[in-house]
Every structure is written in structure tokens, then in C-alpha cells.
Amino acid sequence: MSAAQHESDEIAAIRQAVRALCEKFPGEYWRALDRERAYPTEFVEALTGAGFLAALIPEQYGGSGLSMGAAIAIMEEIQANGCNGAACHAQMYVMGTLLRHGSPEQKQKFLPSIARGELRLQAFGVTEPTSGTDTLNLRTTAVRDNDHYVVNGQKIWTSRVEHSDLMLLLARTTPREQAQKRTEGLSVFLVDMREARGRGLTIRPIRTMMNHATTEVFFDDLRVPAENLIGREGQGFHYILSGMNAERILIAAECIGDAKWFIGRASGYARERNVFGRPIGQNQGVQFPIARAYAQMRGAELMVHEAAGLYEAGRDCGAEANMAKLLAADASWAAADMCVQTHGGFGFAEEFDIERKFRETRLYQVAPISTNLILSYLAEHVLGLPRSY
């Protein structure tokens, strides 16, 4: 159902291995967790044990040193097999900020344990309740006090914090009016939550429409060792931006996987469900939406591969990564809607898993970047239109 026929034997083998792993986590597993809003610990442990989450960590730090092409195959396969990589996808890419901008000592200290899965770095504290998408307006502060920074403020939608040992935190170190440039004055820290919880860090879970382990996080005079500052003070916004392309490409691949799952389910059901004495899929009114969703998914998949190829070659891929995310999120959402419609009433029944996947894939119109903000980016940076905000 995909561009897989053009892929190397190595990537085909990775897909096969991910499929085999996912078979051990069928719909019943995800449904039970969804009901309780519980974390898929066994699934994440299995992915970690197989080394999949360390795909992008270079071999010198104990990772698998795989390409972005391999990483997107992993994330796509997870979703295409009915599982949900959102529980742990950040373990794959949040470390990129440390890898690109951390000191040799920081990399040596953290990356090998992250690669082994002993340290979970899958929490990413950027979004705040008042500033929202306007990241440069965030209010959480980190003030230097000898060999520490003292952090005060609040983050929202900080996902997986309760299932992570470290959090990558973006906080303001220079007041906005004193920063030389609009994009300066923010810094990135690695917060060790094993030490921080109860000592200035409070986590409050948010129940959402899908099972996502997301939270609000409060900082109240939290002391973070100065040695946990990543890169140079004041440059954090640039470091966070530099990691966003990888995040967008990987999440786009997840959306492609979701779309494939919905299209597969819909096609199967349309072939087998008989109404008026014939399969419903014999009606063009049923088969055309499935075919359209397939074409939409394949088009988006090409853009995901284009973005991944540019990323891999070390070339600028900002526009392609954004378009991949936009098109793939649209494709998965269109496929989700089509799949419910194809199933009629059964699309709403929990045991078919469609309503669960429908809720899960809806997120990607909003996070990690909303569709509107991607359109604004393309309008301004690719098409040269006036900045709209």
C-alpha cells in the first residue's frame, strides 16, 4: 500500500521487525489502556529493548545510528499496525537538541543511557498556557544563582513527564525587553525530574479525549544545576527550532501510518460487509472515498520521503518538513473520517478500534504545530507574503 517497494532491504527488514513486535500488542491491549487512560509501559519497553527508539542516536553513543528513512519507517509501521507511538516518539527526537548543541561531557554523560533506555528523555516543556503558539512570549524564567538556575513558571501540555526521567525545558534567562534580538534570551535546560519532583516541580495530569499522558507542570523555585544548560545561554529558541524538522517529519510518518491503518480497515470492511445483497464496497459512493483517501495518503507520503531525504542529506528542509506534517495530518484525518463512514454504526463501536484511532489522529491537526501555523510559515517564508502575526 505504499512506496515501500522502493526501499532498501535494511528498511524492509526494520518494517518486518516492527510489525512482528506490534502483533504482540493487539487492539484489546490499547482499548484497555484507553479506558483507564493508562500508559503503555510494556509496549514502550518492548520498543526500547529492540533498540527502535535509539534509531537516531549515533553508534558512538550506543545508539543504532540509523537514517531518518529508517526512523520514519519505524514510526509509520507502529501506527499502521494499530499501535500508538505517541507514547514514546519523543524519546527518538528530543535527544537531538542535546546531540547537536550539548557539550562533549553532556553527550557522554546522557546519550549512552538514553540509547539503552535507562534514561527516558521524552518530555519537552515548551508550550505555556498564556503564550500558546507564541513561544517567544513564554513566561517561565530561569535566573542564575551561582552554580544553579532557579526556575519559576508553568508549562502546559507537557506530555509523558510522568514517564520520563529528563525534561528538555525552554525558559527565559534574559527579560524580553533586555534581549538584543526578539529570538534571543531563551535557554534550554535538561531537568532531571528524579531530583526535581517535590523540590519545586509539580506535575498535574490533564485528561484528554485520547490516551496521551499529558500534563501541566509547575515550577516553584526549582534549582537546576548550571551544568545542565544546553549550549549557550540565550540561544535556546534556535536550538529548539533546529529540532523541529525531525519532529515534524517523524510525526508526519506516524500520520501516514494511521492513514494506512484506516484505509486498510475500510477496504477490508467494504469488501466483506453485505447490504442489499452485495458488498458495500461495490458501490462507488463507498469505494470512491476509500480510493480518494488512498491517493491523498500516497501524495503526502511522497512529501514525507522528500523531507526525510533532505534532512538526511543535511540540507534545509523547513518547508518540506512543514508540508509533510500538514499533508500527512490532513491525509490521516481524511482517512479517519472516511473509515468511520465506511463502517456505518460499527465505526462508533469501541471494539473496532476505529473510534480510538480517530480520536488519536485528530491531535495532529493541532500538535506539535497547528495547521494554521504551517500555512503561515509557507505563506511568509516560501511565498514571500507579508507576515500575518
Judged by the rule CB under 6 A, the positions of this chain that interact with ligand FAD are 124-127, 132-133, 157-159, 208, 212, 214, 363, 366-370, 372-373, 376, 388-389
CA distance 256 to 10: 20
Least distance (Å) from ligand FAD to the CB of residue 36? 17
Total residue length of the chain: 389
Q: Which residue number is nearest to ligand FAD in terms of Cβ?
A: 132
Closer of 96 and 281 to ligand FAD (Cβ): 96
Beta strands in the chain (DSSP E): 121-125, 141-145, 148-159, 166-172, 186-192, 201-206, 214-225, 229-230, 274-275, 278-279
Sequence-distant contacts of 311-315: CB under 8 A, at least 24 apart: 311/68, 311/245, 311/246, 311/249, 312/67, 312/68, 312/69
Closer of 346 and 377 to ligand FAD (Cβ): 377
212-223 CB burial, b ≥16 within 10 A, e <16: bbbbbbbbeebe
Least distance (Å) from ligand FAD to the CB of residue 369? 5
Closer of 90 and 307 to ligand FAD (Cβ): 90
Closer of 162 and 306 to ligand FAD (Cβ): 162
Least distance (Å) from ligand FAD to the CB of residue 125? 6
User: Which residues face 169 on adjacent strands?
Assistant: 125, 189
- Taking residue 225's Cβ as centre, other Cβ atoms within 10 Å add up to 14
Least distance (Å) from ligand FAD to the CB of residue 89? 10
Closer of 56 and 126 to ligand FAD (Cβ): 126
> Is 121:106 a contact under the CB 8 Å cutoff?
no
Least distance (Å) from ligand FAD to the CB of residue 10? 31
Least distance (Å) from ligand FAD to the CB of residue 124? 4
In 132-273, alpha helices (H): 193-196, 236-272
Least distance (Å) from ligand FAD to the CB of residue 281? 34
Least distance (Å) from ligand FAD to the CB of residue 224? 17
Least distance (Å) from ligand FAD to the CB of residue 86? 8
Q: DSSP character for 7?
A: S
Distance, CA of 312 to chain centre: 18
> Is 125:217 a contact under the CB 8 Å cutoff?
yes
Cβ neighbours for 144, distance < 8 A, ≥ 6 positions apart: 173, 226
CA distance 179 to 265: 53
Closer of 113 and 208 to ligand FAD (Cβ): 208
Closer of 43 and 124 to ligand FAD (Cβ): 124
Q: DSSP character for 24?
A: T
Residue among 303, 299, 336, 334 nearest 320 (CA): 303
Closer of 21 and 255 to ligand FAD (Cβ): 255
Closer of 152 and 371 to ligand FAD (Cβ): 371
Least distance (Å) from ligand FAD to the CB of residue 266? 25
From residue 90, alpha-carbon distances to 40, 75, 103, 155, 353 in Å are: 14, 11, 21, 17, 24
Please give the biggest Cα pair distance in the chain: 79
Closer of 276 and 389 to ligand FAD (Cβ): 389
Least distance (Å) from ligand FAD to the CB of residue 127? 3
Match 484511532 to its residue by C-alpha cell: 357
Closer of 60 and 133 to ligand FAD (Cβ): 133
